[in-house]
């Protein structure tokens, strides 16, 4: 505006918003919409309603619960269930492992490269993007595991929020596996009322764009989030426009240890698209994201990484591979330790627990490392 001779002094409000406001706002909205649609009756007990909105495990970063699912559980008398509680503790352990051992280790390199991108070459930028992809997965799914496991200690079953999303073969499947509670919320309360996948192709495309643009804005009032949502919409449109979505792959991988070349290639390509979109999500501005992608596209992509702590980066890659292998061999379960009770050898079970606790202690950072989704 200064080039046009206009000097604007715009005042803005510095408002501190409570942690997790978007999550419990969606809790309350689902409650009101379900009452309007006569799916539930208005809750007459204020304490039960207040507990539904502010149930502490999911208060700051979800999952986004529905009154139809959570309120009936809160109103029922609960008796301590030992097996349910033990399963919750196992889920908490794996969630803490993903946060501290995976996400926080990846965060060191992701922050270093994204915050100083001009200093690094193309292949270093690729490594930074991969590390952020696993940082946000370990961070967010780790929190969800902790939240679900904590709720189980109180006899409460929350919505599953992640279903091994990086094993998806296309973006449509990815969004059925990633942040499931948010995806299903938009689907049930916005996408289907808009007409869903019915009608003319232009209507379908409009509905997809609306959902993903709003999903981007839900994360923050920044053009980077809007473009992130737009990219995911573009990636998902081909799958949605098919008359029947191909879900055969989801059946194939259940109980299957090895994949064919096409299936494995589909998983890698989906991960590439997802990671490309994450660059906009992570960048502080659109120009920074474009510069970051430009560095990847130049000739330095084929050079050796040029950051000093390259040897230190090998360990997070090994840890990522370990996590993926553990999740792959347990992908048929709600979480990786769901079927652990069937292992009769108690010494073996406690050896695994001890190794995970040892790793958590070894990799725990001294400085504060808040969860990424605490800001949304």
Q: Tell the burial category of 170 from Cβ atoms under 10 Å away from its Cβ (0-12, 13-18, 19+).
A: buried
CA distance 304 to 246: 40
Contact 323, 137 (CB under 8 A): no
DSSP single-letter state for residue 3: G
For 155: left if phi > 0, alpha if psi spans -120 to 50, otherwise beta; the answer is left
Does residue 125 have an active-site annotation? no
Residue 219, both tokens? 């994360």
Catalytic site residue from 27, 125, 219, 335: 219
**CA angle at 215 for the pair 93 and 328, rounded to the nearest 5°:** 35
Q: At how many degrees (to 10) do helices 346-363 and 82-97 cross?
A: 40
Q: How far is CA 251 from CA 184, 254, 261, 340, in A?
A: 21, 6, 17, 23
CA distance 373 to 376: 5
Contact 278, 133 (CB under 8 A): yes
Contact 66, 312 (CB under 8 A): no
Q: Tell the burial category of 162 from Cβ atoms under 10 Å away from its Cβ (0-12, 13-18, 19+).
A: buried
Q: How far is CA 3 from CA 7, 9, 10, in A?
A: 9, 15, 17
Residue 172: closest CA among 61, 274, 277: 274
Coil, strand or helix: which one is 360? Answer: helix
CA distance 135 to 103: 4
In degrees and rounded to multiples of 5, residue 145 shows phi and psi of -60, -40
DSSP single-letter state for residue 189: I
Catalytic annotation, residues: 219
């Amino acid at each position: 505006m200064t080039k046009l001779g206009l000097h604007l002094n715009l005042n803005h409000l510095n408002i501190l918003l409570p942690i997790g406001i978007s999550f419990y706002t969606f809790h309350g909205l689902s409650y009101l919409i379900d009452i309007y649609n006569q799916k539930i009756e208005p809750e007459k007990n204020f304490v039960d309603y207040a507990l539904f909105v502010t149930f502490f495990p999911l208060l700051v970063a979800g999952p986004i619960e529905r009154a139809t699912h959570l309120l009936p559980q809160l109103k029922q008398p609960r008796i301590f269930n030992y097996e349910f509680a033990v399963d919750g503790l196992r889920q908490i352990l794996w969630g803490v492992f993903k946060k501290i051992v995976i996400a926080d280790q990846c965060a060191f390199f992701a922050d270093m490269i994204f915050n100083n991108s001009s200093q690094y070459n193309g292949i270093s930028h690729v490594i930074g993007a991969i590390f952020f992809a696993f940082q946000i997965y370990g961070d967010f799914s780790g929190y969800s595991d902790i939240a679900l496991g904590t709720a189980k200690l109180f006899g409460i079953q929350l919505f599953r929020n992640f279903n091994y999303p990086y094993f998806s073969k296309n973006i449509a499947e990815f969004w059925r596996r990633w942040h499931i509670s948010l995806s299903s919320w938009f689907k049930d309360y916005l996408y289907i009322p808009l007409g869903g996948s019915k009608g003319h192709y232009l209507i379908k495309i409009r509905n997809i764009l609306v959902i993903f643009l709003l999903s981007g804005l839900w994360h923050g009032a920044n053009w980077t989030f809007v473009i992130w949502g737009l990219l995911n919409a573009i990636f998902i449109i081909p799958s949605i426009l098919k008359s029947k979505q191909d879900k055969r792959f989801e059946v194939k991988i259940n109980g299957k240890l090895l994949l064919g070349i096409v299936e494995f290639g589909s998983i890698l390509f989906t991960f590439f698209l997802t990671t490309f979109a994450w660059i906009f999500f992570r960048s502080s501005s659109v120009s920074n994201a474009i510069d970051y992608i430009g560095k990847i596209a130049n000739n330095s992509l084929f050079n050796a990484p040029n950051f000093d702590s390259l040897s230190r980066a090998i360990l997070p890659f090994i840890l990522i591979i370990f996590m993926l292998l553990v999740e792959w061999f347990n992908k048929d379960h709600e979480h990786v330790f769901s079927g652990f009770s069937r292992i009769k050898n108690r010494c073996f079970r406690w050896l695994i627990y001890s190794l995970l606790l040892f790793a958590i202690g070894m990799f725990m950072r001294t400085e504060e490392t808040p969860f990424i989704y605490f800001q949304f």
